[in-house]
Amino acid sequence: MTNAVYVLSPILDDPRFDGFGFVDKSSICGSYDINDDFAAWDGVANQLMPVWKPRTLSGVVGPHNDYPAAGSIPIFSERAVSALKDLLDANGELLRCDHPLDAGSYWAYNVTTVCDTLDLEKSTIDPRGAQNIRHHEFHAGRLAGNSIFKIPQSPFDVYVAQPFVNRVVAHNLEGFWFKKVWPLSHGTNWRRHAREELKKHSAVETSRVAERPRGTPVNKISCRPPAVGEEQGSLNEALREYERNLSLDVQAMTSSDIQTRVADELDTIRPSRMGREQKASRAFWCAVAWGESINRELGWEWAMLVNEGGGKTMGVVSPNRSYAVAVFQFIETLATDQQVDNTSLLLFNLIKEQSVPPSSPGELLLLS
């Protein structure tokens, strides 16, 4: 059996699986931020264990989620560490994290195995940057014994081989999304392939959602208008400034034109070597443009989304409150996490074509 290779990602398209963040995002290695500390720039991984002090995680993750991740940084649950410990210990560093709610034990994982396994002549690499690999071809002989690793050409992506996947499946671990990158037919774009596989999965999930009793909540958020004062003032200022910041001529462009420009901008931001905060700052204006074009096209509107714990974020909601998108979280993730596909244009088209899971008025099904 071929030792297949996958990019390891958290599940982000299902409201049952959420992710973590770090309260303190500063670098411990003199880099831009903590995400760069975990990256293997120029094929070299940092050794973080000697200088690591437990970082505090933010966010609420269900106990069933064994791989919530924090942006591009792997995060494993205690159950996952127990099941995968020999593979993890052999290829990286398990770094203890704290959580203010004492929500269980979690470890960040720094992959230190960097393998020069990519066949550069047969692979397809985007000329805009070596880390934009469209199609992978590996030297099969160099993969032997590697279960979880990075490659020099993609400093953020975490790759896993079939034995790792088999172990996850055997222990019924949840929250893992394995995006197959090799072997695929010659020239196949692995990100497009992953999106197609996700659509198949989503079709199954949609049928399951359709069978649930009407009125059963599928998320735990509510919404309200932006409060008069700072919230509304900040939103109004952003709406005045986003055209200039993105060099858009909104009156002369269709919503699809704007969404295409947003997707292109994200494709430029994602592989760049700017720091995470810089990427997030640029993503802010993309989020305003994304949300406002949805409102313009479909009559949606801006609202403050509030979860059960009182956490809030600005988003857009449909007129009958059946759907919501946490725009700023969604776009920032796309801009800063290369393990997540750039689905900004895809989500816009799915909403526009009404190809999203069914939802009743008032349910606020969170789309991402």
pLDDT per residue over 5-47, tens digit each?
999 998 866 767 778 888 888 999 988 889 899 999 889 999 9
The residue-averaged pLDDT of 299-304 equals 92
pLDDT band of 2, cuts 50, 70, 90: low
Identify the top-confidence range among 10-14, 217-221, 223-227.
Answer: 223-227
DSSP string, 194-237: HHHHHHHHHHHHHHHHHHSPTT--S--EEEEPPPTTHHHHHHHH
Reported in sequence order, the residue ranges of 162-198 that DSSP labels E, i.e. its strands, are 176-182
Give residue 13's pLDDT. 66
Q: What is the pLDDT of residue 281?
A: 84
pLDDT value, residue 130: 42
Residue 70 neighbours by CB under 8 Å, 6+ apart: 19, 20, 21, 22, 57, 108
β-strand partners of 95 = 108
Q: Prior bond to 357 cis, omega within 30?
A: no
| Inter-residue contact 89 to 125 (CB < 8 Å) | no
Percent of the chain with pLDDT over 90: 44
Give the pair of three-digit tokens for residue 350: 């799915």
pLDDT band for position 208 (50/70/90)?
A: very low
pLDDT at residue 106, as a whole number: 95
Q: For position 25, what pLDDT does the model report?
A: 86
Highest mean pLDDT among 22-36, 77-91, 250-264, 334-348: 77-91
Q: Kindly report which listed range (73-77, 237-241, 257-261) carries the lowest average pLDDT score.
A: 237-241
Token digits for 186? 């010659």
* pTM summary value: 0.59
Confidence tier at 213 by pLDDT (50, 70, 90)? very low
pLDDT given at position 151 = 95
- Residue 219 clears pLDDT 60, i.e. is over it: no
pLDDT at 103: 66
294 band by pLDDT with thresholds 50, 70 and 90: very high
What are the pLDDT digits (tens) for 113-170?
A: 999 999 999 999 876 544 578 899 999 999 988 999 999 998 889 999 999 999 999 9
- For residues 118 and 4, is the Cβ–Cβ distance under 8 A? no
Residue 4's pLDDT is what? 93
Find the distance separating the first CA and the last CA of the chain, reported in whole Å. 35
| 8-state DSSP, 34 | H
Selected residue with higher pLDDT from 358 and 211: 358
More confident of the two residues 174 and 310: 174
Q: 98 pLDDT exceeds 80?
A: yes
pLDDT score of 1: 41
Residue 194's pLDDT is what? 81
Share of the chain above pLDDT 70, in %: 90
The mean pLDDT of the chain is 85
Tokens of 57: 């995680």
Give the integer Cα–Cα distance in Å for 341 and 265: 14
**Residue 218 pLDDT more than 60?**
no
